[in-house]
């Protein structure tokens, strides 16, 4: 049920322990690998991120659990319809997954999903030998995966600068392709750590690869019997780093996180070190501590960690730190146009995010502290979570559609409450 959340905080002292859910990115990969391995690979610690729960339900055919938006009726005249809601990663991974299955499937999603491009992936899959049609607009979901895959070639080229998810989707199915895959990445590769995560997880599942220059190659090969453990979500951890950065005093323990993470968003430790937050890995997790010292960085390139953009930009705005940001191009095709959403919501406290030649700079000269602020969330979990730390500097906040956070971090509001925030449903 959709409801708003009113959020307040009457002091700026933070001290506690948080248990984060499993990484949505790791879990989505692990689930696809599990499905492709035909029982050899098992996923440990399935994330309770709604996107991962949905994907697990689809792949494990747990229709009827009540959490699924899957209408399933398989027959020659009536293909199975799989509704992936707002889960972009799952949409891209499942497109590749179903492209090499025999069944006919229509893969659809939320209104926004139908605006998130998938043409680059579909083109690549068609060159490989997949039979795919668009159901509505060319280049966008829903897609009809018609079965009858017959591999034509193992060699394909793909643009690297729009979404790394297309590349991951292809790499995940590569070992199951009779001719294997030789993937040539054209131009710049965005979100590179996510591709590295994919290859590392495949490696754990027994799948070898080579990566030379811009070519990644995976031969046809078998998965080994193993398990894939999903680590807590570093993107979710970023909101606690932001809370620490805006507090007067903060000591937080985030359980289960390690310094050897596959998640590129673990770079939040380095980013937040510039804001005086130290990270110490011990006792099976990371201890954050706030040290009061001047902010030491003005320029942030977020190309490798796009999901941290909202977190870092909001922290800078809160601290009147007029930093500049690059690597934000892909934000426009995520759950919402995150650039526009940031500009609109920061504007409610007089902060501007100004673009010039793909460099975004904050202007806090007109900033004011409103008595109460209403944050629109645009069906984007990260709009809610990135703005929530502002409760440490604003008297009262109201967030549109609290459950929007379920996509990656369903316990977010509960966890805030446990750490002394006042959280009320409105």
Ligand X SMILES: C=C(OP(=O)(O)O)C(=O)O
Binding residues for phosphoenolpyruvate: 24, 88, 116, 165, 338, 382, 407
Partner whose footprint covers residue 176, from ligand S3P, ligand X, none (CB < 5 to 8 Å by kind): none
3-state secondary structure 239-283: HHHHHHHHCCEEEEEEECCCCCCCCHHHHHHHHHHCCCEEEEEEC
The nearer residue to ligand S3P, 89 or 95, going by C-beta atoms, is 89
Instruction: Give the count of residues interacting with ligand X (CB under 6 A).
Output: 8
Could you give phi then psi for residue 148, rounded to 5 degrees?
70, 30
Antiparallel, parallel or unpaired: β 155-159 and 181-186: parallel
**Interface with ligand S3P (CB under 6 A):** 25, 89, 163-165, 168, 190-191, 194, 306-307, 330
Distance, in Å, from the CA atom of 156 to the CA atom of 7, rounded to the nearest integer, reads 49
Determine, following the binding rule CB under 6 A, whether residue 415 of this chain makes contact with ligand X: no
| Residue 282 beta carbon to ligand S3P: minimum distance, rounded to whole angstroms | 28
Partner whose footprint covers residue 191, from ligand X, ligand S3P, none (CB < 5 to 8 Å by kind): ligand S3P
Residues in binding site: 24-25, 29, 88, 116, 163-165, 191, 307, 334, 338, 382, 407
Distance, in Å, from the CA atom of 390 to the CA atom of 348, rounded to the nearest integer, reads 12
Determine whether 307 is an active site residue: yes
Among 408, 409, 412, 421, binds ligand X (CB under 6 A): 408
Determine, following the binding rule CB under 6 A, whether residue 233 of this chain makes contact with ligand X: no
Count Cβ atoms below 10 Å from residue 377 Cβ, excluding itself: 24
Distance, in Å, from the CA atom of 289 to the CA atom of 255, rounded to the nearest integer, reads 14
* Burial annotation 154-187 (CB, 10 A radius, 16+ → b, else e): bebebbbbbbbbbbbbbbbbbbbbeebbbbebee
Residues in binding site for 3-phosphoshikimate: 24-25, 29, 163-165, 191, 307, 334
Site string for ligand X, 270-309 (x = CB under 6 A): -------------------------------------x--
Nearest to 166 by CA among 106, 114, 94: 94
Determine, following the binding rule CB under 6 A, whether residue 334 of this chain makes contact with ligand X: yes
Antiparallel, parallel or unpaired: β 299-301 and 324-326: parallel
| Residue 9 beta carbon to ligand S3P: minimum distance, rounded to whole angstroms | 28
Catalytic-role residue among 51, 233, 265, 307: 307
Determine, following the binding rule CB under 6 A, whether residue 327 of this chain makes contact with ligand X: no
The nearer residue to ligand X, 127 or 267, going by C-beta atoms, is 267
Site string for ligand X, 346-385 (x = CB under 6 A): ------------------------------------x---
Show Cβ contacts of residue 14 under 8 Å, excluding neighbours closer than 6 positions.
243, 244, 247, 249, 250, 251, 252, 419, 420
Question: Which tokens sit at 219?
Answer: 């031969």
> Which residue is listed with tokens 């509704």?
83
Partner whose footprint covers residue 154, from ligand X, ligand S3P, none (CB < 5 to 8 Å by kind): none
- Dihedral, 53, 59, 62, 68 alpha carbons, nearest 10: 50
Measure CA 365 to chain center: 32
The nearer residue to ligand X, 401 or 408, going by C-beta atoms, is 408
HSE of 91, CA atoms in CB hemisphere, 13 A? 28
Determine, following the binding rule CB under 6 A, whether residue 88 of this chain makes contact with ligand X: yes
The nearer residue to ligand S3P, 306 or 410, going by C-beta atoms, is 306
**What is Dmax (Cα atoms) for the chain?**
66
Among 45, 47, 89, 263, binds ligand X (CB under 6 A): 89
Among 41, 87, 305, 328, binds ligand X (CB under 6 A): 87
Closest residue to ligand X: CB criterion? 88
- What sign has the CA pseudo-torsion 106, 108, 114, 120? negative
Distance, in Å, from the CA atom of 9 to the CA atom of 16, rounded to the nearest integer, reads 15
Antiparallel, parallel or unpaired: β 397-399 and 13-18: unpaired
The nearer residue to ligand S3P, 49 or 243, going by C-beta atoms, is 49
| Residue 264 beta carbon to ligand S3P: minimum distance, rounded to whole angstroms | 9
Could you give phi then psi for residue 418, rounded to 5 degrees?
-60, -25
The nearer residue to ligand S3P, 104 or 233, going by C-beta atoms, is 233
The nearer residue to ligand X, 14 or 87, going by C-beta atoms, is 87
Q: Which residues are catalytic?
A: 307
Interface residues with ligand X (CB under 6 A) are 87-89, 307, 334-335, 382, 408
């Amino acid at each position: 049920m959709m409801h708003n959340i009113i959020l307040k905080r009457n002091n700026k002292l933070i001290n506690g322990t948080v248990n984060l859910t499993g990484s949505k990115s790791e879990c989505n990969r692990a689930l696809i690998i599990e499905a492709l391995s035909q029982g050899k690979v098992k996923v440990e610690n399935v994330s309770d991120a709604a996107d991962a729960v949905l994907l697990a339900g689809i792949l494990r055919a747990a229709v009827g659990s009540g959490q699924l938006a899957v209408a399933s009726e398989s027959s020659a005249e009536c293909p199975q319809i799989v509704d992936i809601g707002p889960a972009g990663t799952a949409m891209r991974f499942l497109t590749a997954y179903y492209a090499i299955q025999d069944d006919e499937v229509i893969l659809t999603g939320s209104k926004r999903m139908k605006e998130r491009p998938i043409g680059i992936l579909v083109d690549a899959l068609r060159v490989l030998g997949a039979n795919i049609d668009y159901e509505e607009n060319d280049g966008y979901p829903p897609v009809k995966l018609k079965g009858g895959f017959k591999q034509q070639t193992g060699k394909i080229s793909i643009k690297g600068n729009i979404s790394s998810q297309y590349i991951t989707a292809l790499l995940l199915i590569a070992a199951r392709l009779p001719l294997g895959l030789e993937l040539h990445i054209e131009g710049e590769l965005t979100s590179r750590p996510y591709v590295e995560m994919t290859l590392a997880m495949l490696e754990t599942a027994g799948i070898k690869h080579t990566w030379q220059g811009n070519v990644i190659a995976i031969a046809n090969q078998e998965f080994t019997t193993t398990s894939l453990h999903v680590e807590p979500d570093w993107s979710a951890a970023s909101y606690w780093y932001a809370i620490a950065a805006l507090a007067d005093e903060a000591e937080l323990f985030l359980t289960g996180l390690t310094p050897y993470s596959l998640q590129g968003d673990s770079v939040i430790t380095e980013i937040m070190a510039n804001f005086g937050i130290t990270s110490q890995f011990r006792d099976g997790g990371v201890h954050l501590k706030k040290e009061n010292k001047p902010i030491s960085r003005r320029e942030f390139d977020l190309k490798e960690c796009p999901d941290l953009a909202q977190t870092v930009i909001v922290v800078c705005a809160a601290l009147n730190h007029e930093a500049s940001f690059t690597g934000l191009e892909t934000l426009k095709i995520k759950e919402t146009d995150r650039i526009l959403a940031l500009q609109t919501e920061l504007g409610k406290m007089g902060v501007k995010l100004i673009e010039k030649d793909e460099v975004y700079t904050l202007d806090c000269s007109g900033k004011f502290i409103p008595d109460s602020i209403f944050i629109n969330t645009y069906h984007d979990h990260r709009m809610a979570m990135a703005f929530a730390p502002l409760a440490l500097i604003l008297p009262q906040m109201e967030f549109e559609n609290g459950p929007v956070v379920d996509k990656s971090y369903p316990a977010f509001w509960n966890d805030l409450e446990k750490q002394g925030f006042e959280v009320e449903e409105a």
